[in-house]
Amino acid sequence: MKVAVYNRVSTEEQVGRDTIENQVIFANKYCDLHQLDIYKFYKEEGISGTIPLEQRPEGKQLIEDAKNKNFDTLLVYKLDRLGRSARVTLNSIYELESYGIQIKSMTEPFDTSNPSGRFMITMLAGVADLERETILERMWHGANRAARDGRWLGGIVPYGYYVDKNKYPQINNKTIPNVNISEADIVRLIFDMVANKGYSTIKLANYLNTMKMPTHYSKDHRGKTANIWRPNNIIRMIRNKTYMGIHEYGKRSKKQRELIERKVPAIVSEDIWNKAQQVLTNNQIESMKNAKRSYLLRGLIKCGECGLTYQGVRYGSDTKFYYICGGKTAYRGPKQGKCSSKNIPALFIEEMVWNDTVNFINNPGEIIKVLEENIKDNKGEINKLQQEKKTLLAQMNNKEAEKQSILDLFRKNIITAKDVEIQLQKIDEETTATQKIITEIDKSINSTINLKQKFDSAETLLKDFQIKIKKELSFEEKRNIIRSLVKEIIINTNEVNGRLKASISVKYSFFNVVNHTDKDS
């Protein structure tokens, strides 16, 4: 029998001195003891257990070798080396077993060659997942306590501040060489020019760049185009409540979490901050009023060259309107106004997308058919999940009987109190792990049911649109329909015979993609 050994440590575990070498030494001794022939060691350092096996560098190679039958059995130090998430662990085991590979733990009493071993794997994977979630929750609570105390918990410190040795934010009044002004003074200047002088963000960016005021990134030597003040950066600074003395911790987190508001030293007064907000709002309203034309696809067109959003502009006379990449506009984009993408005539692309949208509304048959087939397939999946849940609930009910049996043995003096404690703890851990799996099953069932609900609402929406498009529509009515059905429009620019040609990919809702090539214009 040839065996492979998979070793993994995450970055956090490396800090705790849990190294790959420790696992390798143990594996060598284990294989010597059991007279096993080692085919290969797969070593993953600094890799999180939440990443699927096939997406890890060594894990990908392991799967390829398993497909080629280069070994018969995979050894792991503990099951959580395969994954720290129950889903990742079980998916990895399922895939390896499909290639005829057995999985064995060198420190846990299971292997996948028998039913009880496979059941134990499910329990251990759930326990590993629970352990990870518990650790994360403790770290979360610890971070929240530190945040309420006012400590800075990492991330970029706002311009005008620094973090002292005790991890508290302080105002940076240190004079910057060459400009004889501090970061805090620059922040006060920005708010004064907006709040009291009514500067637009473009005019203010021109001023700061002309005066060669250092940006947040240039002073920290970060970024390739860091020494340029951009209107968007200025807007973010003015909108930041930190400058008036309120920092919202957790606001930028992608996960649902508690928003902690704490006081920090203020650089500007609350009155100046509020006045600056009002000026920004008024400038935006005025800009909308001065627009020569309303753009039907505003915010939907993305550049395939630099990834920025196309904007509506007017060239020459009042009748020449185009969508152009934001990378060609001052202060926008990684290419600093040098994006080579092609400009698209506004009337041409708006008519094209609107006609496609109307055609889809009137003839959604193929897409609706695909959705219906998916939902039919999902009905069988729901039944399968519900049966799996029923089995797990029965197992949980049996746990109560197991507890009673253990207590009966204790009363008959067959086992000790210590034995009772150990066994009851194991049952509680298994019950918790099972409950976690049931919760995941419930999420899958609800997700599938939601798909059916979305399908029903989509049918209703399309019928409503079919009625609307039969009459004359206002600009806002057309835009609402477009926004409901069009996800995004990608413009890719290619050079053909010395001339720029644009290919237009329109991504519609319900998985539909339509490709076009623009006419010469």
Listed in sequence order, the residues at least 6 apart from 62 whose beta carbon sits closer than 8 Å to its beta carbon are: 4, 6, 42, 53, 74
- CB-based contacts of 306: which residues, under 8 Å, 6+ apart? 325, 327, 333, 334, 335, 339, 341
CATH ID of 2-146, from 3.30.2310.20, 1.10.260.30, 3.40.50.1390, 3.30.70.3270: 3.40.50.1390
Decide: 238 and 194 in contact? Cβ < 8 Å: yes
Mean pLDDT of the chain: 79
Residue 328 and residue 342: Cα distance in Å, rounded?
A: 10
Beta strands in 434-498 (DSSP E): 486-496
Which of residues 96 and 124 earns the better pLDDT score?
Answer: 96
28-42, 182-196, 357-371: segment of lowest average pLDDT: 357-371
Give DSSP secondary structure letters for 319-384.
T-EEEEEGGGSTT-TTTTT---PPPEEHHHHHHHHHHHHHHHHH--HHHHHHHHHHHHHHHHHHHH
Q: Is the pLDDT of residue 334 over 50?
A: no
User: Amino acid identity of 148?
Assistant: R
Q: What is the DSSP letter of 293?
A: S
The predicted structure's pLDDT at residue 258: 64
93: confidence class by pLDDT, cuts 50, 70, 90: confident
pLDDT at 378: 58
Would the CATH topology of 2-146 be identical to that of 161-290? no
- Residue 391 has which token pair? 């089995």
Active site residue 113: no
pLDDT number for residue 118: 63
> Over 50: is that where the pLDDT of 223 sits?
no
Cα gap 102→68, rounded to integer Å: 14
Contact 250, 359 (CB under 8 A): no
Q: How far is CA 253 from CA 142, 167, 227, 372, in A?
A: 16, 20, 27, 36
Q: Is 60 exceeded by the pLDDT of residue 333?
A: no
Query: Domain extents for the chain?
Result: 2-146, 161-290, 369-469
Alpha-carbon distances, residue 53 vs 47, 80, 104, 136, 508 (angstroms): 10, 12, 16, 21, 33
Longest distance between any two alpha carbons in the chain, whole Å? 99
Asked whether residue 520 carries a pLDDT value surpassing 50, the answer given is no
pLDDT > 70? residue 70: yes
Per residue in 411-440, pLDDT (tens digit) is 778 888 778 788 888 888 788 878 878 887
Using CA atoms in the order 101, 104, 109, 111, what is the torsion angle rounded to 10 degrees? 0
Strand 486-496 and strand 499-508: the pairing is antiparallel
Contacts of 197 (CB under 8 A, 6+ apart): none
Residues 169/160, Cβ–Cβ less than 8 Å: no
Most confident segment among 33-37, 210-214, 294-298: 33-37
Q: Per DSSP, what are the bridge partners of residue 45?
A: 9
Q: What's the pLDDT at 270? A: 92
pLDDT category at 314 given cuts 50, 70, 90 is confident
Angle between helix 115-148 and helix 417-468 axes, rounded to 10 deg: 80
Burial (Cβ within 10 Å: 0-12, 13-18, ≥19) of residue 375: middle
Enumerate the β-bridge partners of residue 163.
169
Distance in angstroms (rounded) separating the CA atoms of residues 327 and 340: 9
Region 451-460: what's the mean pLDDT?
59
d(CA 476, CA 493): 30
pLDDT at 499 over 90: no
Confidence of residue 226 (pLDDT cuts 50, 70, 90): low
CA separation, residue 432 to residues 95, 129, 436, 439, 485 (Å): 26, 11, 6, 11, 43
State mean pLDDT over 453-473. 73
- Confidence at residue 335, expressed as pLDDT on a 0 to 100 scale: 47
In 10 A of CB 59, how many CB atoms? 21
Considering the candidates 10, 85, 92, 105, report the single residue annotated as catalytic: 10
pLDDT tops 70 at residue 340:
yes
Overall average pLDDT of the 151-167 stretch: 82
Cα separation, 381 vs 448, whole angstroms: 9
Q: Residues 202-206: contacts with CB within 8 Å, 24+ apart?
A: 202/231, 202/330, 202/331, 204/229, 204/231, 204/234, 205/229, 205/230, 205/231, 205/234, 205/331
Please determine, for residue 279, whether its predicted confidence score (pLDDT) is greater than 70. Answer: yes
Would the pLDDT of 51 be above 70? yes
d(CA 208, CA 183): 13
pLDDT digits (tens, 9 = 90+) for 365-413: 666 665 556 555 556 667 777 887 888 888 878 877 887 888 878 777 8
Q: In what order do the strands lie in the sheet with 301-303?
A: 301-303, 486-496, 499-508, 513-517
**Long-range contacts, stretch 189-195, CB < 8 angstroms, 24+ apart:** 190/234, 190/237, 190/238, 191/238, 191/243, 191/268, 191/272, 191/273, 191/276, 192/272, 194/238, 194/276, 194/279, 194/280, 195/272, 195/273, 195/275, 195/276, 195/279
Provide the percentage of residues in the chain whose pLDDT is more than 90: 17
Fold of 161-290: Hect, E3 ligase catalytic domain fold (3.90.1750)
Cβ atoms of residues 114 and 85 within 8 Å: no
What was the pLDDT predicted at 224?
46
How many C-beta atoms surround the C-beta of residue 398 within 10 A? 11
Ramachandran angles phi, psi of 126, nearest 5°: -65, -40
Residue 119 confidence class, pLDDT cut points 50, 70, 90: low
Q: What is the pLDDT of residues 245-270, one digit of tens each?
A: 888 776 655 555 566 778 889 999 99
Give how far Cα 515 sits from Cα of 317, 323, 347, 501, Å: 30, 18, 18, 13
Output 293 or 237, whichever has higher pLDDT: 237
Helix (H, G, I), strand (E, B), or coil: what is residue 129? Answer: helix
Tokens representing 113? 């060659």
Residue 67's pLDDT band (cuts 50, 70, 90) = very high
Residues above pLDDT 70, as percent of the chain: 74
